[in-house]
Structure 1
Amino acid sequence: MKYVSFLFFVLISIGYIWSGKDVFVRKDWIKFGQHFISVAIAITIVGFIIKGSLAVFPEFSRSTARFILAGFSLSSIMVLGLKFLVVMMCAIFARIMKFHQVKNQNNYNNLSVFTSGISLPMLNFFKLLLSAVGVIIFYGIWLAQP
């Protein structure tokens, strides 16, 4: 079960990091907030399901239930957190370029030419780095315990 959960959350996080929009507008931020709320509701529901399964199946131990609930909740939050980091990095970079457009008009054209050539490889490198970090995080959540 640990390996299946690890693989499931790694694939979900990599898919979520690499797909979709990287620059959010107000409507996208509201949708992202709704995702966080739905994850919190799902964690609560899974907690009640696990509590009920403890009552029905006596061989299902409390430590196993605690491990499953903690792993599920941490992994679900981390999937959203990794996407949040991608979106925030894009937002920070866009704000820096907007600042240069307003306050540094003399050098903005040179910067925009330079950044147009390097921004996509940097974004892909950052996504690759976050994918590797996600694998390490999910390894720590699911597989590092004895």
Structure 2
Amino acid sequence: MTSPDPDGQLAEQLLRLTRRVHRIQKHHLERRELGITPAQSRLLRTLAHYPSPPRMADLAERLEVVPRAVTTLVDGLEAGGTVRRVPDPANRRVIRIELTDAGRTALRELHAARRAAAEEILAPLEDEQRAVLGQLLDTLVDGAVAPPCRHTVG
């Protein structure tokens, strides 16, 4: 008889939740008919956090993908009018990527779609449960080691 594997069970639950989150977000994106894939959405969100237009290499590094993947994403977004390539004013050989007005509008729609997906996913939880989940997720995201839980039986 094998012993239970609680960490393996947690890992499986996290993977199932991640797939569910992606599925629900994709559904909400499709309902808004933005024509933006989840990968393009991630690039737009990343691009919005730069104080000045980044190079494609900067985006690739931030997204942790190969530069060719960013080129493909930018090509699709540029065709949709949400980003544009612009020459670097200091070095005309360097190309930077910037959001267009349509890109900023798309970001607002993407934010609304993500919020709707989050509301759907979190609907079964009470406010206190959401707060605890938020703390647990912060711990996992930050990689901090939490002190062991001390449960009392009684």
Normalising by structure 2, what TM-score? 0.25
Structure 1 or 2: more helix by fraction: 1
Q: Which gives a bigger RCO, structure 1 or 2 (Cα 8 Å, sep 6+)?
A: 1
Normalising by structure 1, what TM-score? 0.26
